[in-house]
């Protein structure tokens, strides 16, 4: 693979429980790109991320750049509050050394001795930042995010987007982000995949997010507004 590319996907097909979830999807991701995967609920977005991570069997080709380090931030961790974990414990599950934990928590905006705080006592925005920090352990070159704004209030959403944009710059990250939020796509991404089991559009958002493609993606009734940045 040419050094500029971190990921090439050709003709990807995923079938789960005899049902086709992703059909004939092809795309490429270059170093430093922010690719958003946009689509309605049940469109196969999260399945795509998990497939890219090698967690789900698939047809077609997924080619990552050699020796690439990938960090993953899942959508939800519903069972985490069943266990009395503090933040340090959570990072220890990944074998992160204490100094790295401190540095990473600082990089996502936590100061002082935050690592002793119990996970169950965090606000949804704080928890999301902890998850992002967890994804950054081991210094990955690529970060995969599954709906990072789920359950987060609007103020925290803004903070998290700004944080992602800053991390991307500071750490020279390539980001793949699943969302169903259109505003994220315009603010954040260099490319977008519109996915509703089949690929609907792919390219820079300003070019490919047309009223027609959005209508096809979400069905009728969607209001379209193009951000001019």
Partner 1 sequence: MDTQFLLSLVVGVSVGGVGGFLGSLMLGRRMALVAGPLGHLALPGIALALMYGFDVSLGAFPFVILGIVLIWLFEMRTKLPVEALTAIVFASGVAIAFLLLPIKQAEAALVGDITKVSFAEATVSVILTLLLFCVVKNIYSKIVLIHISEELAKSEKIDIRKYNLVYLGSIAIIVALGVKMVGGLLTAALVAIPASSSRNVSRNLTQYALGAMIIGMISSSMGIWLYKITGFPAGSLIILVNATIFLISLIFKR
Which residues make up the interface to partner 1 (CB under 8 A)?
50, 53, 55, 70, 72, 74, 77, 79-80, 82-86, 88-89, 92-94, 116, 118
Q: How far is the CB of 119 from partner 1 (least distance, A)?
A: 10
In degrees rounded to 5, what are phi and psi of residue 58? Answer: -150, 165
Q: How far is the CB of 158 from partner 1 (least distance, A)?
A: 26
Question: What SS3 class is residue 149?
Answer: coil
Closer CB to partner 1, 84 or 220, in the complex: 84
Show Cβ contacts of residue 93 under 8 Å, excluding neighbours closer than 6 positions.
Answer: none
Q: How far is the CB of 184 from partner 1 (least distance, A)?
A: 22
Closer CB to partner 1, 83 or 171, in the complex: 83
Closer CB to partner 1, 60 or 74, in the complex: 74
- Spatial CA neighbour of 158 closest among 134, 131, 132, 183: 183
Instruction: In whole angstroms, give the CA distance from residue 137 to residue 58.
Output: 28
Q: How far is the CB of 27 from partner 1 (least distance, A)?
A: 21
Q: How far is the CB of 96 from partner 1 (least distance, A)?
A: 11
Instruction: In whole angstroms, give the CA distance from residue 175 to residue 140.
Output: 10
Closer CB to partner 1, 72 or 110, in the complex: 72
Closer CB to partner 1, 15 or 85, in the complex: 85
Closer CB to partner 1, 53 or 222, in the complex: 53
Sign of CA dihedral 55, 96, 65, 170: positive
Angle (nearest 5°) at CA 70 between 133 and 140: 55
Instruction: Tell me the residue ranges of DSSP E strands in the chain.
Output: 5-16, 19-30, 34-38, 59-64, 70-73, 142-146, 174-179, 191-196, 198-203
Beta bridge pairs of residue 35: 176, 191
Q: How far is the CB of 92 from partner 1 (least distance, A)?
A: 7
Q: What is the DSSP letter of 84?
A: -
């Amino acid at each position: 693979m040419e050094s500029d590319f971190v990921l090439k996907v050709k003709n990807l097909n995923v079938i789960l429980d005899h049902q086709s979830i992703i059909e004939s999807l092809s795309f490429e991701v270059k170093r430093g790109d922010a690719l958003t995967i946009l689509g309605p609920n049940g469109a196969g977005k999260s399945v795509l991320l998990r497939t890219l991570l090698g967690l789900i069997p698939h047809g077609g080709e997924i080619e990552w750049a050699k020796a690439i380090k990938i960090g993953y931030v899942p959508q939800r961790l519903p069972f985490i509050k069943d266990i009395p974990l503090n933040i340090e414990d959570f990072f220890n599950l990944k074998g992160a050394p204490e100094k790295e934990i401190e540095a990473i928590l600082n990089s996502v905006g936590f100061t002082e001795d935050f690592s002793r705080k119990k996970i169950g006592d965090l606000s949804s925005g704080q928890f999301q930042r902890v998850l992002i920090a967890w994804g950054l352990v081991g210094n990955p070159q690529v970060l995969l995010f599954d709906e990072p704004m789920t359950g987060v209030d609007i103020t925290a959403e803004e903070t998290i987007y700004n944080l992602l944009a800053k991390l991307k710059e500071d750490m020279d990250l390539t980001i793949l982000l699943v969302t169903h939020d259109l505003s994220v796509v315009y603010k954040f991404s260099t490319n977008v995949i519109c996915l509703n089991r089949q690929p609907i559009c792919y390219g820079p958002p300003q070019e490919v997010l047309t009223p027609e493609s959005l209508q096809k993606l979400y069905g009728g009734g969607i209001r379209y507004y193009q951000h001019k940045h």
